[in-house]
Structures are given as structure tokens and as C-alpha cells.
């Protein structure tokens, strides 16, 4: 029987969303869990997975359309049933099979051991590969094609608050074929234009959402960025000691849960940073919850899952939850709930380097805390005449905030307090 898939309840009181992109066409086989569409709500852009396995019969929506919960999105015909609407009349006689049948439920995908190994090496899920072999067999070529398609960053899933990676989006037909001959030794080959002709790449999917959100945040919010360096030498010693004692290398603590915990402690003292400006009613809404969004680098790009109630969780709990969220971010399994509800955001790009940067506020939040790469730096203490030089581990931090809600002095005080907590773990301990 054909089943109609309607926009499900996305939680958090979300009633409608805009279709950003439709990922399937009629006639496409879909498996349960495969993303069908990307829908943008006022909280986040999310992929809507298919609850059925079958063949897409009708797509009821198109990009740009606003849909409400319960609206039909896609009709999926479950396997083994005659199509109600066939796109083209098949020739009489032997029925044309549009696509080889997929592996029946419960059976492993038919593919040779060498193909299965290749799939593991390329990180391809065989169940998601469109098979080209007889009987639905997946060939090595199918796996390579799927891996190539996945490597093209069609939608760097960066969400607001974090600068998305600079990823050009080559069009399918513009993909460079593998070079058959080595390039000519001369620097500029004859006949090649001095500059490549400009290319036009459609803005789509998550990229489009990011573009609009960034512009909105940047246009609406007068940003101030307050920079400083935090001496985390002691904290680092403590962290290393804890990690040495941890038997399980999987349970190692990164710096991020400490930053989250310190930020929460400071937010409690400075509630205006854990707030939202209601422009319509000209009120500042001070949040009672401490839901901290954390930028996570995933193969699809940066995403911002939210650590809910970070004030009520220990550093170890936050670390575990962050690990789970990062895992889901990496496998593309974040739910709408995982990425919504944030009241403040932390972006730690230390793993990639960086001495300083100016993050864009995750609007409508009021502030975002950024951290760069901690480096050993010479630190001079004392007076002009009598001073000592030591080497300390310095973490560059930046607080970007909405100047409509708070002032520069508040920002400086916020960062000073944060420094005090992070520079002396004892102070951090008593503030938890």
C-alpha cells in the first residue's frame, strides 16, 4: 500500500517549517532512515528521514514552500506493489524493471567480500548504495561512486554561530575528471586562460539557510568582540592528571566541558548574557535554562548540538553527552531536539588552530564564546623595573555579544570572571 508521509511533530512547539531542499524524486527507492527533505524551522534546519522503505511515488512539496505539521510531504509505495502512477508506460511483454530489487529485509546487502572491505575503507554504508549488479548486487564501482558523491560537500551543514568551512560547491558536470596525462611541466600551459572563468553555483540546502541566518544576525545585531588570553596551565595539569588516571582512553576529557562549565558559572553571575532581546515588545528575556550550544566539526561541516541543562550536569556528564552528540553529528543523526533550545553558544576551534577570530552570534542568543588554540607563551609579571619571565599555556578567548543588550564593560567583566575561573581550577571548583 502506498503510504503518505506527513510532516511530523518536530517538538519544541514547532508547528511549521520551510522546505529547504527535497532530496528525493518520484521513482527513487528509499530506505527507512534515509533523509527525504531538509526543513528549516525557526530553531534549526533539519533533515527529515523516511519512516518507510519503498519507492517514492509522489513528492507533494517543493523547495521554498512552507509546510505545517500534518501536511503531506511524500507518498512512498512499499516494496512489491504495483505502481499507481507509472512515470512512463512500460513496453508490453516483459515488464521493465526500473531498478534492481534491493536486498530483502534482514539479509545482508549482496556484495563481494572485497567490495565490502572497500566500503569500510571509504566509509560507505552498503545499504545506502544504489546497486547496479544483477539481483541488487552492489559492485566496487557502485561503492566508489557513492563515496565520490559523499565527498562533494553538497551541503556543509554548518549552522548559525559558526563560520562554515570555505567549501566550493562544484557542479556535477564541472567535476574534474581524473587526469589521464601528467600536467605539462611549464607553469602555464598554452591556451589556458590566465584566470579561470567565473562559475555560478546555486545556493541550496543548508548553505542557503546559513547564508540567510548569518546575514540576519550580522545585520540585526551590533556585534562587539572582546578578546583576551587565559592562562590555563593549571587547568591543563589537572586535566592531564585526570586523563592519566582514566583507564579508558575513550573517556578522556577535552577542554570543552571545562569551558562549558566555566561559562555556565559566569552566565549565572551575568544573566544578561544568557538572554534574548524581544524586539517587538522591547524586553530582554532572561533565560532560566542554561542550554549551551557547542560547535562540532562533522564530515558534513560544522553543526551546533545543544547541551541541555548544562548547569545541572557534572563535567564528566557533559563530556559524555558531548561525545554522544558529536557522534550523532558525525553520523548525521542529530534530531531537531539535539540542535534546538540553545541559550548561549561555545565555539572551540582550537583543534584547527587560530590566535583570534570574531564569531557571529547564534541569533537570537545574546552572546557566543570562542576559544582558539592554546599555546605556550612568554608571560611577564611584576613591575617595569622588577619583573620575571615565565612560560605559560595561554588560551585565546573571545566573547562576541549583542551591544543592544549589554555594554562593553559588561563583556570585559564577563571575560575577567571567566579568566579567574579557568586560571585557578580551585576557584572553578567552588563555583560549580
Partner 1 sequence: MVMGELSQETHVAVIGGGPGGYAAAFRAADLGLDVTLVEEEPRCGGTCLLRGCIPSKALLQTAEIIWDAMQADRRGIRFGAPELDVAKLRAWKDGIIDTLASGLHRLANKRNVQIVRARAFFENAHTLRLEGSDITHLTFRHAVIAVGSEPLSPPGVSLKPGGRIMDSTGALAAQDIPSRLLVVGGGYIGLELGCAYAVFGSRVTLIHRTERILGGVDEDLVRPLVKRIHELFESVRLETEVEVLREDADGVTAVLRGPSETREERFDRVLIAVGRAPRSRGLGLEALGIAVDAAGFIQVDAQRRTSVPHIYAVGDVAGHPMLAHKAMREGKVAAEAIAGMPSAYDVQAVPAVVYTDPQIAWAGLTETEARRKNIAVKIARFPWGASGRALTMDAADGLTKILFDPQSGRILGMGIVGRGAETMIAEGVLAIEMGASAEDVALTVHAHPTLSETEGEAAEVFLGSATHLYVPGT
- Binding region for partner 1 (CB under 8 A): 101, 104, 106-113, 116-117, 120-121, 123, 133-138, 247-250
Torsion of CA 25, 29, 32, 36, to 10 degrees: -10
Residue 316: Cβ within 10 Å count: 13
Element (H, E) at 75: strand 72-78
Q: Which is nearer to partner 1, 68 or 120 (CB)?
A: 120
- Pairing mode of beta strands 292-294, 306-307: antiparallel
φ, ψ at 368 (rounded to 5°):
-140, 135
Beta carbons of 431 and 417 less than 8 angstroms apart: no
Is the CB of 134 or the CB of 378 nearer to partner 1?
A: 134
CB of 234 to partner 1, least distance (A): 28
Q: How far is the CB of 19 from partner 1 (least distance, A)?
A: 35
- For partner 1, the closer of residues 106 and 185 by Cβ is 106
DSSP, collapsed to helix, strand or coil, labels residue 404 as coil
Nearest approach, Cβ of residue 248 and partner 1 (Å): 7
Report how far residue 318's alpha carbon sits from residue 339's, in angstroms, rounded to the nearest whole number: 16
Q: Which of 60, 223, 227, 403 is catalytic?
A: 403
CB 239 within 8 A of CB 258: yes
Nearest approach, Cβ of residue 307 and partner 1 (Å): 25
User: What dihedral do alpha carbons 354, 357, 362, 366 form, nearest 10°?
Assistant: 130
Nearer to partner 1, 91 or 107 (CB): 107
3-state secondary structure of 147: helix
For the CB of residue 81, give the shortest distance to partner 1 in the complex, in Å: 14
CA–CA dist 259, 2 (Å, integer): 50
For residues 41 and 22, give the distance between their C-alpha atoms in angstroms, rounded to a whole number: 15
Q: Which is nearer to partner 1, 124 or 315 (CB)?
A: 124
**Does residue 291 carry a catalytic annotation?**
no
Catalytic residues: 403
Amino acid at each position: 500500500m502506498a503510504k503518505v508521509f506527513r510532516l511530523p511533530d518536530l517538538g519544541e512547539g514547532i508547528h511549521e517549517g520551510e522546505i529547504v531542499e527535497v532530496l528525493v524524486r518520484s521513482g527513487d527507492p528509499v530506505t527507512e532512515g534515509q533523509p527525504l527533505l531538509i526543513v528549516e524551522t525557526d530553531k534549526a534546519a533539519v533533515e527529515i528521514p523516511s519512516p518507510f522503505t519503498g519507492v517514492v511515488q509522489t513528492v507533494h512539496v517543493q523547495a521554498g514552500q512552507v509546510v505545517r505539521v500534518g501536511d503531506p510531504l511524500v507518498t512512498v509505495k512499499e516494496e512489491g506493489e504495483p505502481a499507481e502512477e507509472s512515470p512512463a508506460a512500460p513496453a508490453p511483454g516483459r515488464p521493465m524493471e526500473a531498478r534492481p530489487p534491493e536486498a530483502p529485509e534482514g539479509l545482508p546487502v549482496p556484495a563481494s567480500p572485497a567490495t565490502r572491505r572497500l566500503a569500510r575503507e571509504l566509509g560507505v554504508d552498503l545499504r545506502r548504495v544504489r546497486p547496479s549488479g544483477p539481483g541488487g548486487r552492489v559492485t566496487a564501482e557502485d561503492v566508489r561512486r557513492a563515496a565520490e558523491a559523499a565527498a562533494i560537500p553538497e551541503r556543509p551543514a554548518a549552522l548559525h554561530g559558526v563560520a562554515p568551512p570555505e567549501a566550493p560547491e562544484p557542479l556535477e558536470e564541472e567535476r574534474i575528471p581524473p587526469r589521464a596525462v601528467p600536467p605539462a611541466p611549464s607553469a602555464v600551459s598554452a591556451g589556458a586562460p590566465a584566470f579561470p572563468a567565473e562559475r555560478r553555483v546555486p545556493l541550496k540546502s543548508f548553505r542557503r539557510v546559513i547564508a540567510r541566518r548569518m546575514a540576519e544576525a550580522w545585520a540585526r545585531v551590533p556585534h562587539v568582540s572582546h578578546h583576551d588570553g587565559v592562562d590555563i596551565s593549571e587547568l591543563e595539569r589537572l586535566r592531564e592528571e585526570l586523563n592519566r588516571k582514566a583507564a579508558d582512553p575513550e573517556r578522556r576529557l577535552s577542554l570543552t566541558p571545562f569551558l562549558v562549565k566555566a561559562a555556565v558559572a559566569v552566565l549565572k553571575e551575568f544573566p544578561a548574557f544568557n538572554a534574548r532581546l524581544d524586539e517587538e515588545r522591547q524586553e530582554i528575556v532572561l533565560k532560566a535554562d542554561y542550554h549551551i550550544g557547542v560547535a562540532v566539526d562533522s564530515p558534513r561541516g560544522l553543526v551546533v548540538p545543544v547541551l541541555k541543562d548544562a548547569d545541572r550536569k557534572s563535567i564528566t556528564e557533559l563530556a559524555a553527552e558531548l561525545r554522544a552528540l558529536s557522534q550523532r553529528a558525525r553520523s548525521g543523526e542529530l534530531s531537531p531536539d539535539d540542535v534546538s533550545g540553545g541559550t548561549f553558544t561555545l565555539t572551540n576551534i582550537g583543534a584547527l588552530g587560530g590566535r583570534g577570530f570574531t564569531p557571529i552570534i547564534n541569533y537570537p542568543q545574546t552572546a557566543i564564546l570562542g576559544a582558539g588554540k592554546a599555546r605556550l607563551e612568554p608571560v611577564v609579571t611584576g613591575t617595569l623595573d622588577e619583573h620575571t619571565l615565565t612560560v605559560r599555556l595561554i588560551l585565546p578567548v573571545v566573547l562576541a555579544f549583542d551591544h543592544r543588550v549589554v555594554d562593553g564593560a559588561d563583556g570585559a567583566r564577563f571575560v575577567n570572571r571567566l579568566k579567574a575561573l579557568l586560571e585557578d581550577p580551585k576557584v572553578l571548583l567552588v563555583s560549580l
